[in-house]
Structure 1
Amino acid sequence: MVNFYTAKKKINGKEYTAQFNGISAALKAVDDSYIEGTNNTSVEKLSKYLFEHVIVDPKGLTPDDFDSMDEFNEVITFAREVMQGNFREKKEQKSNTKASKE
């Protein structure tokens, strides 16, 4: 069973909460974001997935909610790291919130 974790990060004065949904969810997200007929992923498709399934607060984000590409990229990078399970450092593992999703 997958343990669902959340991680918080403040970016440009706004707090974002992202949820880890398991490795299989991360693999499916990447597979679903490929540009058809290529080996390239679509940033638009991946960001849509991240905003719908990984960033849980604030809800309903879109690329147009950001003032710059730098801010957008920083949030996407944070969300992608959480999606892949790379958000916990050994010292921080106990401080992240653990919750079961039923």
Structure 2
Amino acid sequence: MDKSKFYTVEKEFNGKKYVAQFSGVSAAVRAIDSSYIDGTSTTSTEKLGQYILDNIIVDPKGLTADDFETLEEYNTVTTWGRDVMYGKFRNGANASTGKAKS
């Protein structure tokens, strides 16, 4: 995939700005594959959430679940990150900057 098709999306939650990056379909597939609970076909919420925080949310860097005030805030941010990872904001991306605002 041409890296110029990658893009970032900015969004604010509870007064904090987050930037997520769409890194291609292979990144989304890798996220799901790395998130299975060993020996099952069930996806681990913890593993998928941490993959999103490590690889999709690019600013602020180094987030963990414990950086959020509530489980609701964590779920809101990681769900948005998952949507970016799946390419749901691709049509809103600005071709010249590679950025989209949601």
TM-score of the superposed pair, with normalisation by structure 1: 0.86
Q: Which runs of 5+ in 1 are unaligned?
A: none
- Letter paired with 2:6: F
Cα RMSD (Å) of the superposition?
Answer: 1.8
Q: Which runs of 5+ in 2 are unaligned?
A: none
Q: Quote the offset at 1:95 in angstroms.
A: 7.5
Q: Quote the offset at 1:96 in angstroms.
A: 8.5
The total of aligned residue pairs comes to 97
The question of whether the paired residues in 2 share the 8 Å contact of 1:6 and 1:96 is answered with: no
TM-score of the superposed pair, with normalisation by structure 2: 0.86
- Letter paired with 2:51: Y
Q: Does 1:98 align with 2:93?
A: no
Q: Does 1:13 align with 2:15?
A: yes
| Distance of 2:59 and 2:96 partners within structure 1 | 15
| Distance of 2:95 and 2:85 partners within structure 1 | 18
Return the match for 1:25 from 24, 27, 33: 27
SS at match of 1:10: strand
Runs of 4+ residues deviating >4 angstroms:
none
- What are the superposed Cα offsets for residues 51-96 of structure 1, whole Å, 9 maximum, x if unpaired? 11100000000000001011000000110000000124x5x33378
